[in-house]
């Protein structure tokens, strides 16, 4: 007998609907799974058999063939366990076929028959809903989706996708009884309610650092990538952690993308709360900040993998901030791998039989020492020219060129640290940031960091004296073609901070050029050289 049940798997941050087909026929007892299952999915044979027996059902003594359609993509993880078990019971006649008509089932089985939670439920349920809304002419044997069954612990994630009817079960036995109607479906846990976030670090805690504070404000106002160069203890990490407080709440589309990515990575909100602001349907609204350690591998930063493709830190930072502290300790190959997502806002992962595109639109903030010893200032650096040269080679020119704003952060003065006058608060600076962002969005429909060459000619025109200053920097070799565009974008943001004059003058250009510090300066440099 043949049975068919809907389910889903996850690829990267995207769900993929799966049709579980089971045939039980004559032959020696065997259990075969087709449809490109990975090792974890293939191991479900023993889990399913033991769970079925532990739940009080009979295990068929025939040849069991399971096909996971379509066979065009690899099936990973354990989310198909419960669907395969129920399909086997239907094919063996222990459950009537009509009870699973239009029902999708997601969940891992324990050996005792419990239905355990899995990662990636939100994108999996989303794929089922979108498939049902789309064209299903190529699968006429499938009935419209009537409901989705998930483990109890995954209810909050499943709600994000808004399925037509959501059910949650704890055991395989309970699932079977609810399907045939001999027991009522359990009540769903209460939805996560909106709550206030934990207080964000305030910019008023930062004493002095006028140039660094300006760079942080411009980064938030224009979406510019920011590099902080300074000795240990100068406050680079402190500054970077305050950037999310200057950014606006996530829009609904970005919030949904963030939650789908988190679900696929197994980092969704727990029922106990995480201190983040939740909007409707449990969507997080505060921009995320990710701070990976410098020992992180390239795959953990970029995403991908061999057996299962998972989103990396660049995708988990989508809509927010990716902060790389101790930039000089990251592998150069990892830093260069960031160049493509920094330009395109997405990460493309290609394998022999799989191609994925994951969202990765974030603001990159990096912090590094000016030299290996961390001294940096004239007379304080103990590094020789060989050490400085080696340190500079850790950062490729094309990677550094992608930072619109590069600021030197000096150790704060004693008067700043011990003074009673605090700096501007996050609320005050955020008001200016929102005003500058509104000016840019009303003028060109995007932030200044995303202006193309043609857009710059339309919205960031430079006067004669400002253009002469840019020509001088290009002729001296201190600016590349990419750097020229980035200087004009920053100058546009500086002008918007002042109210948005239509034409940029020499003062705007000079200020943008001054915000381009060099890493690992040569002997005699004062860390303020334009580069």
At 139, which CATH number? 3.30.230.10
Q: How would you label 283-305 residue by residue, b for 16+ Cβ within 10 Å and e otherwise?
A: bbbbbbbbebeeebebbbbbbbe
Q: Kindly state whether residue 277 falls inside one of the protein's structural domains.
A: no
User: What's the CA gap between 310 and 299, in Å, rounded?
Assistant: 9
| Residue 307 burial by Cβ neighbours in a 10 Å radius (0-12, 13-18, 19+) | exposed
Q: Kindly state whether residue 253 falls inside one of the protein's structural domains.
A: no
- Is there a single domain that holds both residue 296 and residue 175? no
- Is there a single domain that holds both residue 410 and residue 379? yes
- Is there a single domain that holds both residue 97 and residue 229? no
Q: Kindly state whether residue 405 falls inside one of the protein's structural domains.
A: yes
- Is there a single domain that holds both residue 116 and residue 208? no
Return the bridge partners of 16, or none. 9
| Residue 37 burial by Cβ neighbours in a 10 Å radius (0-12, 13-18, 19+) | buried
Which pLDDT score, from 0 to 100, does residue 272 have? Answer: 36
Question: Minimal CA–CA distance to 100: which of 47, 33, 146, 163?
Answer: 146
User: What's the CA gap between 372 and 119, in Å, rounded?
Assistant: 41
Omega prior to 300 cis, within 30 of 0: no
Report the alpha-carbon angle 197-202-203, nearest 5: 145
User: What's the CA gap between 7 and 105, in Å, rounded?
Assistant: 5
How far is the CA of 143 from the CAs of 6, 9, 103, in angstroms?
A: 10, 19, 9
Residue partners of 216: CB distance under 8 A and separation at least 6: 203, 226, 239, 240, 242, 243, 246
- Per DSSP, 95 falls in state S
- Is there a single domain that holds both residue 211 and residue 87? no
Which pLDDT score, from 0 to 100, does residue 26 have? Answer: 87
Residue 349, helix vs strand vs coil: strand
Give me the phi and psi of 369, to 5 degrees please. -75, 150
Q: What's the helix, strand, coil split of the chain in %, to 5?
A: 40, 20, 45
Q: Kindly state whether residue 189 falls inside one of the protein's structural domains.
A: no
Structure tokens that stand for 225 in this block: 């990538």
Edge-to-edge strands, sheet with 226-229: 289-290, 321-324, 363-368, 226-229, 405-408
User: What's the CA gap between 428 and 444, in Å, rounded?
Assistant: 25
173 CA to centre of own chain:
37
Question: Minimal CA–CA distance to 163: which of 179, 185, 178, 146?
Answer: 146
Give me the phi and psi of 478, to 5 degrees please. -90, -5
Please name the helix (run of DSSP H) or strand (run of DSSP E) that holds residue 503, with its range, or none. Answer: strand 503-504
User: What's the CA gap between 519 and 366, in Å, rounded?
Assistant: 12
- Is there a single domain that holds both residue 51 and residue 116? yes
Q: Kindly state whether residue 263 falls inside one of the protein's structural domains.
A: no
CB 325, CB 291: distance < 8 Å: yes
Q: Kindly state whether residue 271 falls inside one of the protein's structural domains.
A: no
User: What's the CA gap between 347 and 358, in Å, rounded?
Assistant: 5
CB 149, CB 103: distance < 8 Å: yes
User: What's the CA gap between 363 and 320, in Å, rounded?
Assistant: 6
- Is there a single domain that holds both residue 27 and residue 172? yes
pLDDT tens sequence for the chain (531 residues): 889 999 999 888 888 899 999 999 988 889 999 998 988 888 999 999 999 999 999 999 999 999 999 988 888 889 999 999 999 999 999 999 999 999 999 999 999 999 999 999 999 999 999 887 665 445 545 678 899 999 999 998 898 888 989 999 999 999 999 999 999 999 988 765 544 556 778 888 888 888 899 999 999 999 999 999 988 888 899 999 999 999 999 998 998 899 889 888 887 654 334 445 444 445 778 899 999 999 999 999 998 876 678 899 999 999 999 999 999 899 999 999 999 999 889 988 887 767 788 899 999 999 998 888 776 555 667 788 888 888 888 888 889 889 999 998 888 877 777 776 777 899 999 999 999 999 999 999 999 999 998 999 999 999 999 999 999 999 988 888 888 999 999 999 999 999 878 899 999 999 999 998 777 555 444 444 333
Which pLDDT score, from 0 to 100, does residue 274 have? Answer: 41
Structural domains counted in the chain? 2
414 CA to centre of own chain:
40
- Is there a single domain that holds both residue 504 and residue 367? yes
- Is there a single domain that holds both residue 328 and residue 477? yes
Q: Kindly state whether residue 334 falls inside one of the protein's structural domains.
A: yes
Question: Minimal CA–CA distance to 77: which of 125, 126, 10, 124?
Answer: 10
User: What's the CA gap between 319 and 287, in Å, rounded?
Assistant: 6
- Is there a single domain that holds both residue 125 and residue 208? no
How would you classify the pairing of strands 405-408 and 226-229? parallel
Residue partners of 433: CB distance under 8 A and separation at least 6: 217, 220, 221, 246, 247
Residue 424, helix vs strand vs coil: coil
Structural domain span for residue 128: 2-180
Structure tokens that stand for 138 in this block: 């190529």
CB 377, CB 231: distance < 8 Å: yes
CB atoms within 10 A of CB 274: 13
User: What's the CA gap between 362 and 418, in Å, rounded?
Assistant: 35
Which pLDDT score, from 0 to 100, does residue 500 have? Answer: 77
User: What's the CA gap between 47 and 113, in Å, rounded?
Assistant: 9
Q: Enumerate the H helices of 81-149 as residue ranges.
A: 81-91, 121-133
Q: Enumerate the H helices of 92-171 as residue ranges.
A: 121-133, 155-160
- Is there a single domain that holds both residue 217 and residue 120? no
- Per DSSP, 198 falls in state P
How would you classify the pairing of strands 2-11 and 14-25? antiparallel
CATH number of the domain encompassing residue 472: 3.40.50.300
- Is there a single domain that holds both residue 145 and residue 234? no
Which pLDDT score, from 0 to 100, does residue 379 have? Answer: 61
Q: Kindly state whether residue 509 falls inside one of the protein's structural domains.
A: yes
The structure's pTM equals 0.86
């Amino acid at each position: 007998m043949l049975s068919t049940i809907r389910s889903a798997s996850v690829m990267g941050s995207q769900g993929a609907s799966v049709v579980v087909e089971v045939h039980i026929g004559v032959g020696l007892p065997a259990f075969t799974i087709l449809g490109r299952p990975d090792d974890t999915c293939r191991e479900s044979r023993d889990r399913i058999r033991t769970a079925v027996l532990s739940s009080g059902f009979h295990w068929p003594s025939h040849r069991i063939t399971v096909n996971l359609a379509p066979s065009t993509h690899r099936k990973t993880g354990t989310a198909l366990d419960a669907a395969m078990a129920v399909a086997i019971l239907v094919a063996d006649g222990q459950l009537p076929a009509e009870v699973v008509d239009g029902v999708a089932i997601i969940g891992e089985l324990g050996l005792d028959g419990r239905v355990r939670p899995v990662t990636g439920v939100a994108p999996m349920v989303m794929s089922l809903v979108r498939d049902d809304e789309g064209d299903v002419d190529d699968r006429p044997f499938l009935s419209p989706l009537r409901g989705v069954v998930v483990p109890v612990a995954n209810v909050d994630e499943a709600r994000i996708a808004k399925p037509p009817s959501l059910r949650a079960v704890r055991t395989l036995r309970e699932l079977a009884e609810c399907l045939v109607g001999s027991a009522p479906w359990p009540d769903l846990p209460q939805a996560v309610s909106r709550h206030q976030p934990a207080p964000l670090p305030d910019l008023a805690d930062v004493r002095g650092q006028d140039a660094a504070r300006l760079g942080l404000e411009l980064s938030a106002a224009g979406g510019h990538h920011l590099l902080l160069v300074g000795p240990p203890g100068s406050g680079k990490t402190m500054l970077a952690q305050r950037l999310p407080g200057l950014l606006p709440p996530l829009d609904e589309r970005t919030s949904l993308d963030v939650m789908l990515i988190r679900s696929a990575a197994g980092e969704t909100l727990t029922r106990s709360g995480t201190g983040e602001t939740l909007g409707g349907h449990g969507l997080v609204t505060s921009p995320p900040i990710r701070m990976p350690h410098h020992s992180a591998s390239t795959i953990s930063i970029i995403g991908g993998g061999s057996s299962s493709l998972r989103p990396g830190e660049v995708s988990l930072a989508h809509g927010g901030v990716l902060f790389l502290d101790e930039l000089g300790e990251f592998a150069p190959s990892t830093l260069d791998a960031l160049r493509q997502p920094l330009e395109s806002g997405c990460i493309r992962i290609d394998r022999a039989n799989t191609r994925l595109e994951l969202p990765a639109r974030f603001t990159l903030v990096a912090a590094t020492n000016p030299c290996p010893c961390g001294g940096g200032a004239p007379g304080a650096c103990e590094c020789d020219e060989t050490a400085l040269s080696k340190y500079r080679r850790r950062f490729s020119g094309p990677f550094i060129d992608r930072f619109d704003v590069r600021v030197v952060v000096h150790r704060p003065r004693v008067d700043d640290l011990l003074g009673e006058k605090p700096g501007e608060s996050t609320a005050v600076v955020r008001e200016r940031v929102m005003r500058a962002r509104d000016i840019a969005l009303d003028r060109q429909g995007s932030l200044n960091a995303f202006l193309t060459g043609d857009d710059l000619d339309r919205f960031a025109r430079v006067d004669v004296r400002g253009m002469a200053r840019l020509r001088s920097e290009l002729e001296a070799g201190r600016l590349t073609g990419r750097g020229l565009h980035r200087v004009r974008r920053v100058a546009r943001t500086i002008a918007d901070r002042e109210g948005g004059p239509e034409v940029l003058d020499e003062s705007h250009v000079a200020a943008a050029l001054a915000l381009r510090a060099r890493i690992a300066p040569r002997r005699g440099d004062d860390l303020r050289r334009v580069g």
